[in-house]
Amino acid sequence: MDMNLREKVKKSASGKLPAMIDHRRHFHRNPELSFAEERTAAAIADSLRSLGLKVETSVAGHGVVALIEGEAGAGPCVALRADMDALPIEEKTGKAYSSMNMGVMHACGHDAHMAMLLGAAQILHELRSGFGGTVKLIFQPAEEQLPGGAKAMIEAGVLQNPDVDAIIALHVSPDMPAGTLGFCSGAFMASGDEINIRLSGKGGHAAQPDKTDDVVLAAAQLLVNLQQIVSRKTPPALPAVLSFGKLIASGAHNILPDEALLQGTFRTFDEVFRAKAKEMIRQIASGTALAHGIEAEVIIADGYPVLHNDLSLTARLQHLANQIFGQEWVRTLPMRMTTEDFAYYSQKIPACFIRLGTGNEALGIRAGLHSPLFDIDESAMQHGAAMLAASAITLLNEGFPQENK
């Protein structure tokens, strides 16, 4: 990226930090849950229209899409994506900009994601004479809830008209110092499927277990049996997690219930093994139930696929981050077992999902994602907006490296 243009991007991002903070705090005060982001979408559309952009609304629900055309001629298209939805969490930060919607909170940083993309839009609009081609701005609903807004937006044609050649997104990370940028090439975030198993049998008096079907014992045995999928059936070099966070068997001290419900999650980084593991879950549940003389119903809700960061694209953007901010601000990250529906885009076109540090121990900003105490060091947003804008300009002006698949 041309040094002069690089400095213009950084200066513009710094100057727009107050506006980004205002946007972020507005969104934070007024959070909306997945598939209900109506007021959020309206505020985004108004901000984009104020730049003179043509805005498409109600895309796959409450999605918002806008285009910024470069003035240096025709060219490819780069998409920048931010998610919009909040979580069903009661905020406990006590901040002046705390959520005014009881039981709903931006505890995953989507308020900052939207603010940074609006900031990047302003930067790109100002500097549009310095690049050719098109930047597509994608404000996506419903990242937090299956089946996810990304899949619906893709089905609605968000990657066409014009065809998107690459897509980039940022996600805040409270475990990284504010303003740092993290990159991981290849498989970055896991697939995630929701496991629901219902065991049914004959309940009765706990003092007469011989006259009942003990679904509690069966559930305990099933939990142990299922762990062999990770310990004995998963290739040793492949990360995988099978965890159960809920077991309901509503009996009592002297009552054996007739039903037990188990709920958990399975995560991995290989789509072929993912399908195989889900079939093993069904088989082990059926076999365990048969051994106990009860019934097993297994329902697996397919979650998000593996998020794959294009190798060459990610290397290019990590190099760009080093150029813009210096190596002390850039990190190479390991894979994560968390999930993200940005993965759907990465299955279709070259993609790069970047982490942005927002933690600050000195300010007491250390709470993790999805915590009622979550907050961010808002100064990090200038680096996020600059990275988004500079990435788009660089790819439009210098082309699209891609890994050989």
Q: Which of 280, 301, 322 is the last residue of a domain?
A: 301
Q: Looking at residue 200, which CATH number applies to its domain? A: 3.30.70.360
Of 191, 233, 218, 234, the C-alpha closest to 335 is 191
| Active centre residues (catalytic) | 85, 143
Could you tell me if 185 and 195 lie in one domain?
A: no
What is the average pLDDT across 186-211? 97
Could you tell me if 97 and 196 lie in one domain?
A: no
pLDDT at 403: 64
Q: Looking at residue 119, which CATH number applies to its domain? A: 3.40.630.10
The answer to the question of residue 228 being in a domain is: yes
Report the percent of the chain where pLDDT is more than 70: 99
Could you tell me if 196 and 122 lie in one domain?
A: no
Distance CA 12, CA 3 (A): 14
Show the tokens assigned to 135. Answer: 């930047």
pLDDT at 3: 75
Q: What one-letter code names the amino acid at 302?
A: D
The answer to the question of residue 252 being in a domain is: yes
Could you tell me if 87 and 177 lie in one domain?
A: yes
- Mean pLDDT, all residues of the chain: 96
What is the average pLDDT across 29-39? 98
Could you tell me if 100 and 139 lie in one domain?
A: yes
Q: What is the pLDDT confidence band of residue 401, given thresholds at 50, 70 and 90?
A: low
Residue 121 has pLDDT above 80, yes or no: yes
Could you tell me if 101 and 22 lie in one domain?
A: yes
Could you tell me if 214 and 319 lie in one domain?
A: no
Could you tell me if 72 and 103 lie in one domain?
A: yes
The answer to the question of residue 403 being in a domain is: no
Beta strand 181-183 with 191-200: parallel, antiparallel or unpaired?
Answer: unpaired
Could you tell me if 134 and 17 lie in one domain?
A: yes
Lowest mean pLDDT among 1-10, 213-222, 300-309: 1-10
Show the tokens assigned to 337. Answer: 């077992």
Could you tell me if 30 and 148 lie in one domain?
A: yes
Q: What is the pLDDT confidence band of residue 402, given thresholds at 50, 70 and 90?
A: low
CB 388 within 8 A of CB 120: yes
**Domain count of the fold of the chain:** 2
Report the percent of the chain where pLDDT is more than 90: 96
User: What pTM, to 2 d.p., does this model score?
Assistant: 0.94
Distance CA 197, CA 244 (A): 10
Q: Which of 301, 321, 339 is the last residue of a domain?
A: 301
Q: Which of 301, 323, 338 is the last residue of a domain?
A: 301
List pLDDT tens digits, range 335-382: 999 999 999 999 999 999 999 999 999 999 999 999 999 999 999 999
Helices (H), 211-342: 215-226, 228, 271-292, 311-325
The answer to the question of residue 405 being in a domain is: no
The answer to the question of residue 206 being in a domain is: yes
pLDDT at 4: 83
Range of the domain at 361: 3-189+306-398
Could you tell me if 394 and 258 lie in one domain?
A: no
The answer to the question of residue 404 being in a domain is: no
pLDDT at 405: 43
Could you tell me if 109 and 35 lie in one domain?
A: yes
